[in-house]
Amino acid sequence: MSMLLKKAGHLMMACLFVCMVTACAPEEPPPEDVIIPRPTVIVVTAEGPYYTTFDTPGSWLVGDNTRSEGRIVDGRYVMSIREARTLAWTHQTRSFGPGVYEVEAEFLGGSEASAFGILFLASSDLSSFYYCLITADGRYDVGRCDDECTQQESLIGGLTLARIILTGYQTNQLRVEYTGDQITFLVNGAPVGQVNGIPQGSGLVGLIGESSAFGGLDVAFDNFSITEQ
């Protein structure tokens, strides 16, 4: 198990299991003679577009514990976070570089201030990644997590209001365009944020959710596609 800690900003603490998506609260440090194994992530090298309707889990992580759950329901990937201030994710095993990343995301319940979206350009051990998120109350963010989220930075100054985001229990189309050293985040076809100076490369991609201080999160993802340049 790999533990990620963040107590400042709006990304908080999470745990990632090798075989499932989950999250957890802080624990007492183990005795010095206890070794906690780190998860091994197998990165698949392949070419061509990627598309999934989530009719089956495929290579996506699923599972649950008392604090969070990832599962396939009626052809969608449903992520549930049961505690406030908790971050959880699931990821694909294939590495992707510059291109277009798209997914449909529907808020199902919990706090409308909770955030959800796409994780991409992740390192092979998931200790660092970029993310593009929205909330059900109409805000978005583009940022980066490093050092197992002990260092987290919004690249646009924090959650920002965008009227194009459909609020409440509605489906939003999320699109990330990664070209050269630039990330452009679009929601429902309209650009909401752009960040330059992104190192060129490739990495793992996934789905991410973060519960707010006001409660948990239930969100469904569908029709995830990636077309590399």
Write the pLDDT tens digit of every residue in 164-214.
999 999 999 999 999 999 999 999 999 999 999 999 899 999 999 999 999
**Whole domain around residue 54: which residue ranges?**
2-228
**Predicted local distance difference test score (pLDDT) of residue 35:** 38
Distance CA 33, CA 29 (A): 11
**Predicted local distance difference test score (pLDDT) of residue 149:** 74
**Predicted local distance difference test score (pLDDT) of residue 10:** 52
The CATH number for 59's domain is 2.60.120.560
**Predicted local distance difference test score (pLDDT) of residue 197:** 95
Mapping DSSP to helix (H, G, I), strand (E, B) and coil, where does residue 172 land?
strand
Q: Single out the residue of 226, 227, 206 nearest to residue 79, CA to CA.
A: 206
| Pair 24, 14: CB distance under 8 Å | yes
**Predicted local distance difference test score (pLDDT) of residue 44:** 54
Distance CA 49, CA 35 (A): 40
**Predicted local distance difference test score (pLDDT) of residue 152:** 84
Q: Single out the residue of 168, 171, 186 nearest to residue 221, CA to CA.
A: 171
Cα 74 → chain centroid: 21
List of the chain residues with pLDDT < 50: 1-9, 11-40, 42
**Predicted local distance difference test score (pLDDT) of residue 22:** 43
The tally of domains found in the chain comes to 1
